[in-house]
């Protein structure tokens, strides 16, 4: 045994214990992080779904505004072509299109320029 070995022995035990403690902390953090990772994935899926629903609502709102504008244009001018489909928009038989068409048919000359 070398005379200096006894000086380094307590230090080596300290380093080993510190290493064991550090490894325990790292493995515990990884375990907790893995569990939270599953929650993160589920939350991301819910956010994606919510964004899809919001985009759908925005599309319906835009079509409703277009139908309302077309109806106002028809009431002001009496031009029935304004109630037709918007160029570049897919034709859908939704409630907004039906409401605009029905409102236009109820008032064919009530206040329009062609009356």
Question: 46 pLDDT exceeds 50?
Answer: yes
**Chain position carrying tokens 């070398």:** 2
Identify the DSSP state of 83: G
- Per residue in 67-100, pLDDT (tens digit) is 999 999 999 998 888 887 766 666 655 554 444 4
Banded model confidence at residue 48, pLDDT cuts 50, 70, 90 = very high
* Average per-residue pLDDT for the chain: 74
Q: What angle do helix axes 95-106 and 5-77 make, rounded to 10 degrees?
A: 20
Residue 51 in contact with residue 81, Cβ under 8 Å?
A: no
Phi and psi at 18, nearest 5°, equal -65, -40
User: Cβ atoms within 10 A of the Cβ of 9, count?
Assistant: 10
Distance CA 6, CA 99 (A): 93
pTM above 0.95, yes or no: no
């Amino acid at each position: 045994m070398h005379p200096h070995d006894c000086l380094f022995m307590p230090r080596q035990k300290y380093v080993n214990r510190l290493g064991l403690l550090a490894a325990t902390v790292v493995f515990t953090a990884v375990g907790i992080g893995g569990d939270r990772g599953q929650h993160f994935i589920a939350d991301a899926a819910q956010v994606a779904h919510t964004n899809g629903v919001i985009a759908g609502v925005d599309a319906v709102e835009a079509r409703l505004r277009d139908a309302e504008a077309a109806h106002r244009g028809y009431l002001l001018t009496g031009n029935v072509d304004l109630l037709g489909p918007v160029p570049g928009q897919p034709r859908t038989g939704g409630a907004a299109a039906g409401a605009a068409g029905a409102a236009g048919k109820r008032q064919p000359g009530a206040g329009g320029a062609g009356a």
